[in-house]
Amino acid sequence: MSFRDMSMVRRWPGAVLAVAIGCMIAGSAGAADTKYDELFRTHGLKCIHPTLNIDKATVEILKGPTTAGDITTVRVKAYYEGWMKKNVMESDLMIRQAGSIRQMQIKVLADSGSAHKPCDLEKGWKDF
C-alpha cells in the first residue's frame, strides 16, 4: 500500500461521520422548524372563521408537539375578537408528513365564537 492510499484510509472514518451527522440534522430539521402557532393562525383560523382579522388573533401552544407514526399533534388555544366579544378556541392541530408531502387537519375541541362553521381542514387532510 502506498503513502497516498494510507492517507485515504485515515480520512475515511471522518468522512463517514460527517455524512452521518449531516443526515441526522437534515432529517430532524423538518419537525423542529415548524411554527405550529403561526400555522394554525394563518391556515386554521382563516378556514374556520373566514371573516376574522387574523392579524389581531393570538395563538399559544398548550400541549405538544407529540408524534405518533407520521402524524404530529399539537394542542393550541386561539384568542380572537368576534363581533360582540373576545372569543377563545381550543383545537388539536394534526400534521402528517410523508416525504415531501405535508398535510394538516384540525379538530376543534371548544369554540366560544358563534360563527363557527365546519371547514375543509375539519373534514379531512389538506395539503399546505
Q: How much is the pLDDT for 25?
A: 38
The whole-chain average pLDDT of the chain stands at 80
- Is the predicted pLDDT of residue 123 greater than 80, yes or no? yes
Average pLDDT of 79-93? 90
Average the pLDDT over 53-77 and give the result.
94
Cell of 82: 368576534
pLDDT of residue 26: 39
Assigned C-alpha cell, 29: 430539521
Q: Whole-angstrom Cα distance, residue 84 to residue 68?
A: 39
DSSP-assigned states of every residue in 65-91: EEEETTEEEEEEEEEEE-SSSEEEEEE
Which pTM value belongs to this model? 0.69
Residue 121: what are its φ and ψ, rounded to 5°? -70, -20
